Structure 1
Amino acid sequence: MNPLGVLEAIGLFFYWIVYLVNPSFREDEKIKEIERKEHQKLTLKIEKKKSQDKEIKEFEENRKNKINNNEDLIKICFDDTVFCDEYQILIEKIKTETKNIKFRMEFEEEWNNTFSNINYGCYCRNKPNLTIYNTCPIYEDPLDNACKLRQDCISSKNLAWNESLECNSDFSAFLDTIPYSNMKKFDSLTNEEIMLMTANKYKALLNIYNKLN
């Protein structure tokens, strides 16, 4: 028989004897186990954060390299409209590229699609939907109320939701009161966070349009 195996077996035997007959020892061991698990959780959390930070850094570097090389400018812009609005280099490159008619048509089509595909509340959509919620606009929701005013304006002028520049002044004034948030997409968001993200997207789209026209 392996001497080390015998010693290990004897050690375990005495460990369990002490564990069973000594309440204080049992409590100490339980505390140690809890601390070990907490330490393990913290370590995993730190490692996950490091991995996420690395992925974000690589993504941002890759995105900026593409912009510098004039690659995927339209996709990059509409994948993250807030970034597009704030990153002046991207705006300037798009402005230069829009001198090309084909590029400009593609850009305008993507802008219209992105604006039209936002659906929020009863009124922040191509056509108001008053059956989604019990009360429309959503009670105490400033964005849905602002969208209602915009819908009223475009309806009175017989305009389309994504083409109604005449009805943007009040809407833009409201959006300008909401600062850009650092929030990204998450699995779970509060209603207020969803409202802020949607408002930020509208704000960025209108700013981008104004900068390029």
Structure 2
Amino acid sequence: MRKTIFFAGIDPSIAYEVWPFLLHLYPFDSTFEQREQIRHNKYLHYQKIRARREAPINDPEQLQFFHDVEAIIEKDVVRTDRSHPYFKGDDNPNLRIMKEILMNYAAYCPTMGYNQGMSDLLAPILTIIQNESDAFWCFVGLMNRTIFISTPTDDVMEKQLRYLRKLLLLMLPSFYEHCVKLSDGLDLLFAHRWILLYFKREFPER
């Protein structure tokens, strides 16, 4: 199913129904009743995450953690996809929802917290799903498969760069040779954002 969708795409009118399957909110073999139960359980779980985050914090380190995370998220949210109708306007409530999801994700996965670029990955999910709890869990499903969630020892970025080097050698040998001549050319620093954000900023939405 994933392979078919990858090559053929999906009709935009049913994206909000299909993405939760692709992003691991629902199993592909689940029934309608099972999916409704999953949604309900995930909603309750999400409310517990929010309540835990909003509860008084006595630990100074944890308090500083959320203070720092919130400062970064607030800066990123107001710069993310603001030309998109879903996020236009200074008083747009969807900006608050994006911030809430990112803050709750930091509480849900404190080892990851928040890194710049995560708002770029959340934005298209939120515009399609348009439900805070469902969008959060779809975002969790996506993040579990991204380089953000890997550790330095996982070497995921370097693995992707190795694939890219092989493609360059095969498809653009002259450019590959040019990179070889540069001291750090084969580090392909220009491609790190492509890989990290799945080309989110390189290809416009249709």
- TM-score, normalised with respect to structure 1: 0.24
Flag the structure with larger Rg. Answer: 1
- TM-score, normalised with respect to structure 2: 0.25
